[in-house]
Each structure stands twice: as C-alpha cells, then as structure tokens.
C-alpha cells in the first residue's frame, strides 16, 4: 500500500490559525507582534519568499515591515538597518533574507541581530540554546517545522532510529539537536549523514524516521528506505520538465514515486515541509513578542 501523505499545507494552515488567535489575544493586551524582513538585491526566488512572509504576517494580524535594499548595499549600510530594528520596540522579530550579495559577510550580519529578536534562530546564542535544550531560544524555522509535522502526524519518535541526510547549519545540525533532546517529538537515536558518509544506503535503510536535507534532487530512492518508515523531504529543487508550461517543476531530495511504495508516511514536494517554514516563523515572532512583554 502506498504511503500516507503528511499534508504540510494543512498542518501549516492549522498553526497559522492558532498563531492568528493568539496574536489577537496579545493585541488585546496592547502588544502587536512585529516582524521586519530585509531583502538585499533582486534574486527572484528570495523576492517571492519575502513577499509571502509579509503577507502571512499581515494575515496573522501582525505588524509587518519589509525593507528592500539594492544589490550594491554595503555591509555597514545593512548593519545600520539591523541596529535601527534592534532598537525599535514595535519590532519583535528580524529576518535578513539569505543569500546576501558577496560584499556582505552573512556571519557578521547574523551576529548583529539581537538574539531575542533572531526569529530565524541563526545567531550563535540561539544555536547554543537549541543544543542545550533551552526552550527560550529560537529554533530555525525549517527544522522546527519538521518536528511539528512529526508531532502533529502522531509519529512515534521516542527510541526511534532517526537518520538525517545533510549537515547544514540551517537544517541538518539543528535537526540533530532537536531530535536527540529528551522532550516531546524527540528522544530519538540520531545519525547524521553527509557527503563523506561511507555507504549512505546502509544508514538510510535502518531509519524509522528519515529526514533528507541534502539539496540533491531525488538522491534517496525507495531501495534506500526502510519499509514502514516515515520520510520527511526538506529538498526543493527545480528540474527541467518540458511537459510543463514553465519548462520546469519542483522535486524533493527523495524520489517520491519509488519511496512512497516503501514508506508508511511521506511528505510531498511541494506542500510538505515548505509551508511549515512560514508557519514556524510566525510562531517564533509571536513568542518573541510574548517574551518582550514578559521581560
Ligand atoms: N533563505 C532561504 N531560507 C531562509 C531562511 O530560513 N531564513 C533566511 N533568513 N533566509 C533564507
């Protein structure tokens, strides 16, 4: 029997509705959560993401600011914007869209954002908090979304073999930290695979939960999946497809058709992990506003 689909779009909708209700309650107490997004340059994919983040914020009843800067922006100019947002009491979350133009060092920018406004969870203070299991820290939106998908789909994680393919700072490493903690939707035995892993298939084939964030289209095939596994595909890759109007289509890092014959549950691409990212960004912004009110 083909795998059951984990409907990321529906779960993200559920979370966005919850965030909107809780935002309204916070507004009634005099605080409207505010998110500022900075986009430098005119990368079309980034422009689409930034626009969706702004719309999602407004839909949730939050205050939304989008700052669009030219590709020629210098690092000091960008840092001046970050400083202004750090000091602005109406802004609880700051996100600088990556990638940045080559004259700007992303690490310098990430370290300049106040950790209590770093709703991306990229600042070393938040990276450290996630690693030690301090719940005050902000978890990067994509791994937080994956964990929420597992939780809301009723996947048993305690004691499970969880194999993560990919070791990026944005997904693989924080995903590892989340799944190994002793809390809910976690408590797993975690293996992280990467480009130097010998015999990748030997690892993936014993995963009860397989999370793939490697950035390589369809690299995980059904033959590499354990029967009955839960497969979470974080990849979003454009591949050429002459049969579509645009000439391309989106595929994940998992070969969906073969993997779904073997797995018990699987996320599709699109409408799997993707929509969860914005939902978790809103959730982090709401918490940043609550924490600001309490401090
Ligand atoms: N570019 C692609 N994904 C992300 C993300 O999660 N946060 C930021 N800031 N930039 C991105």
Pocket residue to mutate for ligand 1, from 47, 78, 98, most atoms within 8 A of Cβ: 98
Domains and CATH numbers, the chain: 31-120 (3.40.50.10860), 141-274 (3.40.50.720)
Candidates 7, 118, 120, 255; catalytic one: 120
pLDDT, tens digit, 9 for 90 and up, residues 34-76 = 999 999 999 999 999 999 999 999 999 999 999 999 999 999 9
CA–CA separation, 110 and 121 (whole Å) = 9
**Mean pLDDT, rounded, for 212-230:** 98
Residue nearest to atom 9 of ligand 1 (CA): 97
Rounded to whole angstroms, the Cα distance separating 194 from 165 reads 6
Tens of pLDDT, residues 197-211: 999 999 999 999 999
Tell me what pLDDT residue 9 has: 98
Residue 69 host element (H or E): strand 63-69
Q: Is-catalytic flag, 97? A: yes
The 10s digit of each residue's pLDDT in 143-174 is 999 999 999 999 999 999 999 999 999 999 99
Chain length of the chain: 295
Q: Is the CB of 120 under 6 A from ligand 1?
A: yes
pLDDT in tens, 209-220: 999 999 999 999
How far is 190 from 231, CA to CA, in rounded Å? 15
Residue 1 pLDDT exceeds 90? no
* Per-residue tokens: 223: 């033959």
Kindly report the protein residue whose alpha carbon is nearest to atom 11 of ligand 1. 98
Q: Residue 282: which pLDDT band, with cuts at 50, 70 and 90? A: very high
Does ligand 1 have an atom closer than 6 angstroms to the CB of 50? no
How is 93-161 classified by DSSP, letter by letter?
EEEEPSSPPTTS-HHHHHHHS-GGG-TT--SHHHHHHHHHT-TTSPPPHHHHHHHHHHHHTT---TT-E
* Residue 295 pLDDT class (50, 70, 90 cuts): confident
């Amino acid at each position: 029997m083909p795998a059951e689909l984990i409907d990321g779009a529906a779960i993200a909708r559920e979370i966005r509705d919850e965030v909107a209700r809780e935002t309204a309650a916070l507004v009634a107490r005099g605080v409207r959560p505010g998110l500022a997004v900075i986009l430098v340059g005119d990368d079309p994919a980034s422009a689409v993401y930034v626009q969706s983040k702004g719309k999602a914020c407004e839909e949730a009843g939050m205050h939304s600011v989008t700052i669009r800067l030219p590709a020629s922006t210098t690092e000091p100019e960008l840092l001046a914007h970050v400083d202004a947002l750090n000091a602005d009491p109406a802004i609880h979350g700051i996100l600088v869209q990556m990638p940045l133009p080559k004259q700007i060092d992303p690490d310098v920018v990430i370290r300049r954002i106040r950790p209590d406004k770093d709703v991306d969870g990229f600042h070393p203070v938040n990276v450290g908090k996630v690693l030690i299991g301090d719940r005050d820290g902000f978890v990067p939106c994509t791994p937080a979304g994956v964990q929420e998908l597992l939780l809301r789909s009723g996947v048993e994680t305690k004691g499970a073999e969880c194999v993560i393919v990919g070791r990026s700072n944005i997904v693989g490493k924080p995903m590892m930290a989340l799944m190994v903690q002793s809390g809910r939707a976690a408590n797993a035995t975690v293996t992280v695979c990467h480009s130097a892993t010998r015999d990748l298939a030997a690892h993936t084939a014993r995963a009860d939960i397989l999370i793939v964030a490697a950035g390589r289209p369809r690299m995980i095939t059904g033959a590499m999946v354990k029967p009955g596994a839960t497969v979470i595909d974080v990849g979003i890759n454009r591949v050429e497809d002459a049969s579509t109007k645009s000439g391309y289509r989106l595929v994940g890092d998992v070969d969906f058709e073969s993997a779904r014959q073997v797995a018990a549950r699987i996320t599709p691409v699109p409408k799997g992990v993707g929509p969860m990212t914005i939902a978790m960004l809103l959730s982090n912004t709401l918490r940043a506003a609550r924490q600001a009110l309490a401090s």
